[in-house]
Amino acid sequence: MVEESDLKQWKDAGHVARRTLEGIEGEIVEGKSWNEVIDSAERFIRRHGGQAAFPVTISVNDFAAHYTTNTQLNPPEGWDREMVFQKGDLVKLDVGVHIKGALGDNAMTIEVGNGGNHTEQIRAAKEGRDAAIEMMHPGTPWHKVGAAAEQVAKDAGFMPISNLCGHQMERWSLHNGVSIPMYACGAKNPGFKGVVEEGGVYAVEPFNTTGSSGMIENVSPSNSSNILRVTGDVRIRKALDKGKLKPLGATMARYIEERYNTLPFAERWAYPLLEKPFPEADEESLRRKWNALVKKLTSIRFLEVYAALKDKDGGNVGQFEHSVYITEGGPEVLTVA
């Protein structure tokens, strides 16, 4: 729970996150590359006093979430054209900001070229988010929050995605404790027990789809998002003492942990760290060393990797998201400009 006296940094993080979305929205135009927009958004965050709480992600059409570019600019599996926006693309832009670990997380959906092909879906995603937030008064059962989001999607003719959830946030932890249903899970669903709690900060993010099943699936391989995270479950010194890490691996693990704590980070952020111990190495050698390092650090559960997510049926996906603080009188949106 977040104390009211601690709220300023959360509001500041939310403010920067919202300003970033609104400042970058106009850059999502025909002919612009995904990487250009991602880089611009991350620079915007830093210029306005925040740090990225996770890599800025771009998810287009049937891709739902969790994709950011890597140093090699490889497209995700199943993407068969350049990572350049085309007229009519349905684009999800997801931006997170932290200020000393206090978090702001928000997202929006945009149609490239504003041709009106996805207007109803975009509206339904935004209104579903707002309907869920309106239900978030202390003591409200979580299943009622999810039902409110689903009703909007179905009334507009879309399916809610049922295997993606909103989430509680705490300092330095994007997904902490409670998962928030974004569909009508039912009062007896064992995965969504409990009620909205005063003092909680929650990311509310319903997804909808033109697909028939309302399900997303992982894109192979397991690290297809190009996003990693320190689990916080492994102590570097203990791993070194037990022979699970060599000195150089332990040093690299410390570099990563010091920079990102347990928040998600991009391969393209961390990969250049290898240039310090190996200044003379060529690109091929550095790539082999990076892959070996990640393999080792994931094998001992120091790191975890994420897969990109796409609609199981190939349907177009829409999403909107706000971060919300629960007061005695109800929800207060933190991701406001």
Report pLDDT digits (tens) over 266-288.
999 999 999 888 888 999 999 99
For the chain, give the secondary structure using H, E and C.
CCCHHHHHHHHHHHHHHHHHHHHHHHHCCCCCEHHHHHHHHHHHHHHCCCEECCCCEEEECCEEECCCCCCCCCCCCCCCCCCECCCCCEEEEEEEEEECCEEEEEEEEEECCCCCCCHHHHHHHHHHHHHHHHCCCCCCEHHHHHHHHHHHHHHCCCEECCCCCEEEEECCECCCCCEECCCCCCCCCHHHCCECCCCCEEEECCEEECCCCCCEEECCCCCCCCEEEECCCCCHHHHHHCCCCCHHHHHHHHHHHHHHCCCCEEHHHHHHHHHCCCCCCCHHHHHHHHHHHHHHHHHCCCEEECCCEEECCCCCEEECEEEEEEECCEEEECCCC
98: nearest Cα among 335, 331, 288, 294: 335
Q: CA 99 to CA 171: how far, in whole Å?
A: 9
Q: What percent of the chain has pLDDT over 70?
A: 100
Average pLDDT over residues 170-180: 92
Pair 209, 316: CB distance under 8 Å: yes
Cis, peptide link before residue 55, omega less than 30° from 0: no
Please list, residue by residue across 74-90, b when 16 or more beta carbons sit within 10 angstroms of its beta carbon and e when fewer do: eebeebeeebebeeebb
For the ranges 12-16, 114-118, 322-326, the lowest mean pLDDT is seen at: 114-118
Quote the pLDDT of residue 179: 95
Helix axes 283-299, 247-260, angle to 10 degrees: 80
For residue 257, the model assigns a pLDDT of 95
With 80 as the cut, is the pLDDT of residue 83 above it?
Answer: yes
pLDDT of 6 above 90: no
What mean pLDDT do residues 38-51 have?
98
Contact 198, 328 (CB under 8 A): yes
Say if CB 154 and CB 160 are below 8 A apart: yes
Contacts of 133 (CB under 8 A, 6+ apart): 204, 322, 324, 331, 333
Return the half-sphere exposure (C-beta side, CA atoms, 13 A cut-off) of residue 150. Answer: 19
Residues β-bridged to residue 327: 330
Quick check: 169 pLDDT over 90?
yes
Structure tokens, 2? 């977040």
Residue 4 has pLDDT above 90, yes or no: no
Q: Are 149 and 180 in contact (CB under 8 A)?
A: no
Q: Which residues, listed in sequence order, are joined to residue 305 by a DSSP beta bridge?
A: 228
Place of tokens 């070996």: 292
Which whole number is the average pLDDT over 188-200? 94
Domains defined along the chain, listed by start: 4-219+314-333 (3.90.230.10), 227-305 (1.10.10)
- Say what the pLDDT of residue 80 is: 93
Residue 3 has pLDDT above 80, yes or no: no
State pLDDT tens for residues 98-123: 999 999 999 999 999 989 999 999 99
Name residue 175's amino acid: H
Q: What is the pTM of this model?
A: 0.95
